Amino acid sequence: MSPLTSLSVTSFNTALSLLKFPVQFLSSRGGEEKTLIIWEKLYKVVMEQGEISVHHNTGYIVGEVGDRLEDILNRHHSEAQLLMNTKIVKIMVDNVDWASLTRSLKTGGGGGLHHPLAGFERMMSPLGNVTSLISHLKHLTEKLSGGHSQDAEVAKLLLSSYQKLFSINHTELIRPLLKALSPGFSKFLKEEFIVSLAKQDSTILKAIEKAFTTVGILIKVKYNKEYTLDFLEEIEDFLIACLGSPRTSVSKPANEMWKVTFLTFLDISLTFFIIEGLRSKKR
């Protein structure tokens, strides 16, 4: 390793340690606004430096921070840690450079589309270095929905992150993004979870409906390719949750979306799909 490369690696490791510090040691404060403002400023600077570095591909910092957040949550899970992680994730989601990520994925990152491991890397990380951030968002949702104390503040922050992600306009990323987000977001469509959150804060209902509307637009308007059986299976959790919802504010638009998307391309009965899907979930 050359002295220049060594210096670059050391600098990024130091910066990553600084970004990890408040999450690891200040979570008991729940992510104070002043701390988050400073963290975001540092994150943006480090992320920009990572983008212009010849040693790292697009989104390197996003992936590294995402991995570190996941590690911290696994080691030190608490309600305060969940809230802190959720606030940090929202900042990261708000700052994803989708245009650069799309270009990077098209060219196979730093190694080109034809380097030996290009296909394998794309399969393992279909969203490039943002994959770890998306996985962490899913993990946070699982922690919240499966916990004894379901914090409405955490839920609203997570929903805000989901809505931001569902608002993308880069068609190449829509399907892999939906596949990655479907299992997590579908939990917010489960009636028991909705009721539990609404008891704390009734405005959560509007937040859920807003995010749901955004994902509906993503599927039936922005997605411009065929609605294949493979695609259906990739977002099965979401489809079963919304089509089978007892809330008309969810099931009605879901039925309308179904009619103009998958039902147009596939000879599948809606009732059969829901029944079989629910049966498979109970097995």
Inform me whether the pLDDT recorded for 136 exceeds 60.
yes
| The two structure tokens encoding residue 180 | 């990655």
| Closest to 13 in 3D by CA, of 54, 56, 52 | 56
pLDDT digits (tens, 9 = 90+) for 67-110: 999 999 988 878 889 999 999 999 999 999 998 888 888 776 54
Inform me whether the pLDDT recorded for 115 exceeds 60.
no
- Please state the three-class secondary structure of 101-170 as a single string: HHHHHHCCCCCCCCCCCHHHHHHHCCCHHHHHHHHHHHHHHHHHHHCCCCCHHHHHHHHHHHHHHHCCCC
pLDDT digits (tens, 9 = 90+) for 236-253: 999 999 999 999 999 999
Mean pLDDT of 23-39: 84
Kindly indicate the confidence band of residue 6, based on its pLDDT and cuts at 50, 70 and 90: very low
Average confidence score pLDDT of the chain: 85
Contact yes or no for 152/204 (Cβ under 8 A): yes
Q: How far is CA 248 from CA 1, 53, 244, in A?
A: 61, 50, 10
pLDDT digits (tens, 9 = 90+) for 154-186: 999 999 999 999 999 999 999 999 999 999 999
Contact residues for 47 (Cβ-Cβ < 8 A; gap 6+): 61, 62, 95
